[in-house]
Amino acid sequence: MLSYSIKRLLAILPVLFLVSMMAFLLIHLVPGDPAANILGPFAPKEEIQLLRHKLGLDQPVLIQYISWLKQVVQGEMGESITTGRPVLEMILTRLPLTLTIAVLATAISIVIAIPLGVLAAVKQNSKIDLFAMFTAFSGISIPSFWLGIMLIYLFSVKLRWLPSIGYVPITENFQEAMKFLILPAGAMGLNLAAVVTRMVRSSMLEVLRQEYIVTARSKGLSELAILVKHGLKNALIPVVTVIGLNFGYLLGSTVVIEQVFTLPGVGSMVITAILGRDYPVLQGVLLFLTFFYLMINLLVDILYGFLDPRIKYS
């Protein structure tokens, strides 16, 4: 297990290098000049050129990339062009909120999807199964931002149960923080639940046809014990894969949700950086989220061994 983890961690390095290079080049191809954006449209060209020189934007792209990469290797990600703050500090300040939303959304999807998927598999081709599949297809088809707006309309405007905008740090007041986070997490979680429900149903149908399930029934085990101990445990491997992959997707999709609910997370920081042509912030966020996504994949692979002891790592 340890040697496998070390090999996977080492394999992450070339992936991060390629991502950093592609992100840097693509971001610099985006039209717009950060210096002109900072000084305004009526600034003299001499002042714009002076600021470009100060920020190092007048150097060749390759030189800029090498300079930035040296900072990354040293554990830094440069400074924001618009605020002057260290990029890593900005990311770490906003990351807890984005992670909290993603974790809550994942938890909501699991609570909904696993029971619904198992029930749909057990009651295959019944009205329950048709309802579950209709719900799943509807959830996949509905964009999370539209669902978020509908949740605001229902629970904030009509029922007035929950606030529509604002944020309280979860470390200050957990109960109040949940009031602000449940709607954005619910909008994202319902989308993910649709995907996971289909995977749980498909995986459970395959497992329930296996011979060891028939053997367990012949031994007189209760249906609940068969479903939970023998069925669901063996059906979870592809489900865990889907959840792990989609957790990375959730981190990226918070860009939209945080705008809908005006939350100060990494997503809203990305939007501000795009509008301000803040290259270091965009590069830092993309690299950081890529690293996070790769680490999640590693944890998912390690989790396979706990779900199925037959899986060996080399």
User: Residues of 89-127 as b/e, b for ≥16 C-beta within 10 angstroms?
Assistant: ebbeebbebbbbbbebbbebbbebbbebbbbbbbeeeee
pLDDT value for 107: 92
Which CATH number do you get for residue 267? 1.10.3720.10
Residue 63 lies inside a defined structural domain of this protein: no
pLDDT value for 217: 75
Residue 64 lies inside a defined structural domain of this protein: no
Cα(256)–Cα(11) distance, integer angstroms: 31
Residue 142 lies inside a defined structural domain of this protein: yes
Residue 244 lies inside a defined structural domain of this protein: yes
Residue 55 lies inside a defined structural domain of this protein: no
3 contacts: CB under 8 Å, gap ≥ 6: 313, 314
Residue 309: both structure tokens together: 């002891």
- Our count of domains for the chain comes to 1
pLDDT value for 45: 81
**pLDDT tens per residue across span 205-237:** 888 887 777 777 777 777 777 777 777 777 887
The band of 42, judged by pLDDT with boundaries at 50, 70 and 90, is confident
Q: Residues of the chain with pLDDT > 70: what percent?
A: 95
Least confident of 9-13, 119-123, 265-269: 9-13
Greater confidence, 231 or 289?
A: 289
Torsion of CA 102, 68, 65, 249, to 10 degrees: 0
Q: Where are the alpha helices (DSSP H) in the chain?
A: 2-29, 34-39, 45-55, 61-73, 87-122, 127-141, 144-151, 174-208, 211-218, 223-225, 233-260, 266-275, 279-307
Contact 279, 28 (CB under 8 A): yes
pLDDT value for 306: 67
**pLDDT tens per residue across span 105-116:** 999 989 998 888
Residue 208: both structure tokens together: 């329930």
Q: Which domain holds residue 291?
A: 95-307
pTM above 0.85, yes or no: no
What is the distance of C-alpha 309 from the center of its chain? 28
The band of 2, judged by pLDDT with boundaries at 50, 70 and 90, is low
Cα(87)–Cα(72) distance, integer angstroms: 11
Residue 272 lies inside a defined structural domain of this protein: yes
pLDDT value for 307: 63
**pLDDT tens per residue across span 153-177:** 888 888 888 888 778 888 888 888 8
Residue 246: both structure tokens together: 């989609």
Whether the predicted pLDDT of 258 surpasses 70? yes
Residue 85 lies inside a defined structural domain of this protein: no
Residue 87 lies inside a defined structural domain of this protein: no
